[in-house]
Structure 1
Amino acid sequence: MPPGFSASPASVRTGEQVTVSASDSECNPRYGQDASIKITVTDSAGNQVIDTTAPMNDAGGFTYTFNVPANTATGAGSISAYPHGIDWCDDTGRNNRARAETRTFTRVSCVMPQVSLTVLP
């Protein structure tokens, strides 16, 4: 599963800073020492104004700070963040992050994790 994350503040103007972060997972997801998080910011017009990766630790913790671009449409947008280059929703029912272990896993929803970001006029 991708790490649960938050964004602060939730309402900003263009040019202001937003910090997206997640605490370490309690379940040892073993993302690896070179893990990264894919972060996408979509404005109210549906434009992706940020599409980048940032470092993430082995336990899923990360912090990424950005300035809201000047061309971002005002209104309700969203931020998504998920582990980059990792199939965290394996449709076969196999957990590809725990290859050496024998366990039973329950499949979960593959809905894109996202939080709201409101850009004020």
Structure 2
Amino acid sequence: MTVSAADASCDPRYGEGAQIQVEVMDGSGIKIVDELAPMNDAGGFSVQVEIPASAVPGPGMVSAYPYNMDWCDDTGKNNRVGAVGAQDITLVSCVMPTKPLQIEP
């Protein structure tokens, strides 16, 4: 299956060499895929992942988030840009971003 996202419109500046971490949980809630893939500076990516034959059928989920960086600024302090413009930053939800996935037998 392909997991992908378009570039963000907010200029996130992930930088050269940025990666996305993709995780897939099966119908039992067990993580069956944990993969890193390239992500561009604006957050766009596309990665092919293989669902193992041993995956438990049922409602699972897919999660994808920037690898090895504080993608959730819940500190009240902009830890990526510094003090310049920090007062204009809107804090985001720190709930893990997920999408439902129905795994068929």
Instruction: Give me the TM-score of the superposition, normalised by structure 2.
Output: 0.92
| Large movers: runs of 4+ above 6 Å | none
CA RMSD across the alignment: 1.3
Tell me the equivalent position of 1:74: 57
Counterpart pick for 2:33 among 50, 56, 70: 50
Match of 1:10 in 2: none
Asked if 1:25 corresponds to 2:8, the answer is yes
Structure 1 partner of 2:103? 119
Amino acid at match of 1:87: D
Displacement of 1:100: 6.3
Identify unmatched segments of 5+ residues in structure 1: 1-17
2:16 maps to amino acid: Q
Q: Which runs of 5+ in 2 are unaligned?
A: none
* CA offsets 1:23-58 (integer angstroms, 9 cap, x no match): 011111000111000111000101100011110000
What is the letter of the counterpart of residue 40 of structure 1?
Answer: E
Q: CA separation in 2, counterparts of 1:85 and 1:91?
A: 16
The alignment of Structure 1 onto Structure 2 pairs a total of residues equal to 104
